[in-house]
Structure 1
Amino acid sequence: MNDNDRDTLLAAAVALRAEGHREEARQRLLALCSAFPDDATIAYQTAWAHDVLGLEAEAVPFYERALAAPGLTEEDRRGALLGLGSTYRVLGQYGKAVGTLREGAEEFPGDGALRTFLAMALFNTGEHHEAMRLLLELLASGSTDPSVREYHEAITYYAQDLRATV
């Protein structure tokens, strides 16, 4: 199989997943993984195909392979970090979830989804203050609600320490 075949087959599998033919997409991606075991993009797409089917434990090694190999686009790397971190959290591997999502949030500081999922994982590890800080900062910086915007400064201040008094 050459690179043109790889690109065509990968695009077809991703389209199947997007169209709701998730199991067929997963099967095709597994075949592509066998043919291209060092391809980070195929590994990422295979992880995603498992994740959307609720096969989180099976998704993990594909996410790990994708992140370990070179070749992911920036957007796919962001998605793989989010996917792996979220999957670890769903599987109850909270420490790994925090580590992965923290890495993602540091690498992609403007990504609100990474920070949101990190906050959920932090909650699961009992780090409630940091979880609330992340969510309050995200709310203060991104809300379009006029009443939240009105209290932006106060929300940002209290995000640093919810125990603070004036």
Structure 2
Amino acid sequence: MNDHDRNDRDSLLAAAVALRAEGRREEARQRLLALCAAFPDDAAVAYQTAWAHDVLGLEAEAVPFYERALAGAGLTEEDRRGALLGLGSTYRVLGQYEKAVRTLREGVGQFPGDGALRTFLAMALFNTGAHHEAMRLLLELLASGSTDPSVREYHEAIAHYAQDLHATV
């Protein structure tokens, strides 16, 4: 891609993202679809197109764009995190729980400190019947991140029980 094409792509992408942020979601989606056609190997364009579909409730249509974004190169770290979260969450909404767990585990592996990825993983684990692991993840998040004074008071106990919900001592 030459500099002129890159500048056009950047300005068109920024305009489409701005439309989505302004609530002009369908217009943003249409522009992003056109950008995807013009730049089919562009991971950032694919990610933004996936997101545009997701916010319109078009989850099934978002999946191939998320997959294309994650298969490609050039996503920023934040966009990669967002694409893993978006795809995992979308799989879960579509009832594809095993794919959701795999995708969200990949996300947690790459971004272990991200509470949103761990929360969505817990939900997907719950959907697969892995209730103990789901509860453990949520209790760990609660113990490490709650600002509620009463939860902070029991921080150590919650962290302990997160590791073994069957513990009695």
Taking only aligned residues, the RMSD between alpha carbons, in angstroms, comes to 0.6
Three-state SS of the structure 2 residue aligned to 1:2 is helix
Separation of aligned partners in 2, 1:165 and 1:144: 26
CA-CA distance at 1:134 after TM superposition: 0.2
Structure 1 spans left out of the alignment, 5+ residues: none
Residue matched to 1:108: 111
CA-CA distance at 1:31 after TM superposition: 0.1
Letter in 2 for 1:160: Q
CA-CA distance at 1:132 after TM superposition: 0.3
Residue matched to 1:151: 154
> Which residue, 60, 63, 66 being the options, matches 1:63?
66
Residue-pair matches, total: 166
TM-score, L = length of structure 1: 0.99
**Could you report, residue by residue, the CA deviation over 1:63-101 in whole angstroms, capped at 9, with x for unpaired residues?**
000000000000000000000000000000000000000
- The question of 1:160 aligning with 2:163 is answered yes
**Could you report, residue by residue, the CA deviation over 1:87-139 in whole angstroms, capped at 9, with x for unpaired residues?**
00000000000000011011101100000000000000000000000000000
> Which residue, 8, 20, 32 being the options, matches 2:23?
20
Residue matched to 1:41: 44
Separation of aligned partners in 2, 1:130 and 1:103: 16
> Which residue, 86, 89, 94 being the options, matches 2:89?
86
Letter in 2 for 1:118: L
CA-CA distance at 1:5 after TM superposition: 0.6
Structure 2 spans left out of the alignment, 5+ residues: none
Moved over 2 A (4+): none
Separation of aligned partners in 2, 1:84 and 1:115: 14
Separation of aligned partners in 2, 1:97 and 1:111: 16
Separation of aligned partners in 1, 2:58 and 2:125: 23
> Which residue, 6, 10, 16 being the options, matches 1:3?
6
